[in-house]
Structure 1
């Protein structure tokens, strides 16, 4: 049964008690190219350089599972990228998985933009509130659909049907799908799908 997703973003992030600086996408990419940040796992969200959440085996295994499923499902002209940058006007997020138009050769000298992405997917173990806030970032980037694979509640939160409201893009449809409900993907007019159970790990015995 489909349910509406609660997307309350009223909780504001804590701000440090000292001056901070927002960065443009161009500045962030220059910093990344110069390897100033070393091995730090970060992404640019709405102009802020923020650390990525610490991953565990459940998270990484689920990402691998989704990638494997998509490799078998996707038609020519589309492929799955894992934890790699996509560029928007003010952000450079790195979704856990993205279904991207083209081939890897198309992105040797540039990152994909939101319009190149059919679905961005985040896997949430303990990061659900942060991942829900990302819905507005992916919408403004022009990503057609956004899924949050919610491992705690064993469901997939789906954001799609992009609309522009006073020049601001947002997802007009938000649902919670479970069990054998289908996650639909549209690629150049071609429909394909997975079930929620396919992208979720098996439940722990006794849970």
Structure 2
């Protein structure tokens, strides 16, 4: 019997592959050492992303850094590019390094065709990494799912202790407090 091994990439190797042009066919994320091709964004996804980033920038100003579809560094083997990240404000806009879990107020994904993946693999990855809040803008059901308080269960699985669901006409408080995001008009 022949043993089969899988090559897991580090973030350094991932960056080097990018420099060499390996990802010219489209965006790729590094998730737990695996290269994951990101699916093409449909128009409703892009519209929701544009509206959300615009609204957050206007709402937060310089109280936080809003990053749209930019990488975050979760570990030596995971560097996803969430749709939106609300990070602690830094004057250098994270020039030295990508934000890590301690820098992120909330990590947000906009989900339609990737809803199962975002609720499964991405949710456990963000919880394991210590991301405090994970938001899924669920385009299928036109609602926002907010996950809080990452934890590990007795079997070693990662998840969030709280899940709150907001309808498309409701408001949600942002994690840094005293800022309320109106959801009305965000969902196409």
What's the secondary structure of 2:13's corresponding residue? helix
SS of residue in 1 equivalent to 2:174: strand
Structure 1 residues 156-165 or 130-139, which shifts more? 156-165
Structure 2 SS opposite 1:186: coil
Contact 1:142–1:169, Cα closer than 8 Å, also in 2: no
Matches of 1:31 and 1:140, distance apart in 2:
26
Partner residue in 2 for 1:29: 15
| Shift, 1:74, TM fit | 1.0
Distance 1:34 1:107 in 2: 24
Q: Tell me if 1:63 matches 2:49.
A: yes
Mean Cα deviation higher: 38-47 or 91-100: 38-47
The SS at the match of 2:24 is coil
Q: TM-score, normalised by structure 1?
A: 0.78
Structure 1 residues without counterparts, runs of 5 or longer: 1-17, 202-207
* Structure 2 contact 65–93 (Cα < 8 Å) conserved: no
Which piece of structure 1 moves more, 171-180 or 60-69?
171-180
Which stretches of structure 1, 4 residues or longer, exceed 4 Å deviation after superposition? 164-169
Report the counterpart of residue 53 of structure 1 in structure 2: 39
Q: State the structure with bigger RCO (CA 8 A, min sep 6), 1 or 2.
A: 1
**Structure 2: which 5+ runs fail to align?**
none
Instruction: Write the mapping of 1:176-195 to structure 2, written as runs, cut at 5 A.
Output: 176-187=165-176, 190-195=177-182
SS of structure 1 residue aligned to 2:164: strand
Contact kept, 8 Å, 2:124 with 2:157, in 1: the verdict is no
> How far does residue 75 in structure 1 lie from its aligned partner after superposition?
4.9
Which residue of structure 2 aligns with residue 12 of structure 1?
none
Contact preservation (8 Å) 1:77, 1:103: no
Q: C-alpha separation between the residues in 2 aligned to 1:51 and 1:142?
A: 24
